[in-house]
Amino acid sequence: MDFSSIPAALPALWDGLQTTLQLLVLGVLGGVLLGTLLAMMRLAHNRLVANLAALYVNYFRSIPLLLVITWFYFAVPFALREITGEDTPVGAFASCLVAFVMFEAAYFCEIVRAGIQAIPKGQMSAAQALGMTYGQSMRLIVLPQAFRKMTPLLLQQSIILFQDTSLVYSVGLIDFLNAARSRGDIVGQPHEFLIVAGLVYFVVSFAASQLVKRLQKRLAV
């Protein structure tokens, strides 16, 4: 084992790690927003709306993420061409981000829905008795408590997404793992670079999992 080429490759690895972190942060934010909307739809009294949201969630939870990434890589440019009538270039980063948001929203939806259902129904009734609308009750009373309960689960799903970002190799996006692998091939030390990449993934994931455990204890009611 010879790790002497690692220091010279740090700038390239850092660029790849930045891409991974950007996908993670934007994917989580977009996934939580869309997932919250889907959760509200699933809890709606309108059966058509609830069934459409359930169909979305069940579909994306039943197919592999690699398929979603590949599919959106080809689907996003096609959809934009249909909307704008022009060939709009879409990079691998944008298509992967759309895939992550759409895919993770299905999982975040179930987390948010479970968090909302964990809040006693009497709180919603009390808020409405004070004259609040349904939207105000959810925004001011129910959702803040629900997010407190489900923060550890949201972070746990984010750790899974951090690991799943490595699948962007399928469309040629240079993330952290892809940068390590390509750099290792260039200098003829693929094993050493993959070991370093594995250590980085382990350290980040393990540290985040320990944070989740602390939050579970701190946020416990």
The tens place of each residue's pLDDT in the chain, 221 residues long, gives 777 788 888 899 999 999 999 999 999 999 999 999 999 999 888 899 999 999 999 999 999 999 999 988 887 777 777 777 676 667 889 889 999 999 999 999 999 998 888 888 888 888 888 888 877 888 888 888 888 888 888 889 999 999 999 999 888 889 999 999 998 888 888 888 999 999 999 999 999 999 888 877 776 65
**CA-angle at 195, arms to 193 and 196, nearest 5°:** 65
What pLDDT is attached to residue 84? Answer: 72
Q: Which domains does the chain have, with CATH numbers?
A: 18-219 (1.10.3720.10)
User: Distance between CA 71 and CA 194 in Å, rounded?
Assistant: 27
Amino acid (1-letter code) at residue 148: R
End-to-end CA distance of the chain: 50
What pLDDT is attached to residue 23? Answer: 94
User: Distance between CA 142 and CA 151 in Å, rounded?
Assistant: 14
Q: What is the pTM of this model?
A: 0.87
User: Distance between CA 98 and CA 27 in Å, rounded?
Assistant: 8
Amino acid (1-letter code) at residue 183: R
User: Distance between CA 54 and CA 46 in Å, rounded?
Assistant: 12
User: Distance between CA 210 and CA 203 in Å, rounded?
Assistant: 11
Q: b vs e for 199-213, b when ≥16 Cβ sit within 10 Å of the residue's Cβ? A: ebbeebeeeeeeebe
Tokens representing 118 are: 């964990």
Contact at 8 Å (CB) between 2 and 195? no
User: Distance between CA 32 and CA 72 in Å, rounded?
Assistant: 19
User: Distance between CA 131 and CA 210 in Å, rounded?
Assistant: 42
Contact at 8 Å (CB) between 180 and 192? no
Closest CA to 166 of 204, 117, 221: 204
Tally the C-alpha atoms within 13 A of residue 215's C-alpha that lie toward its C-beta.
16
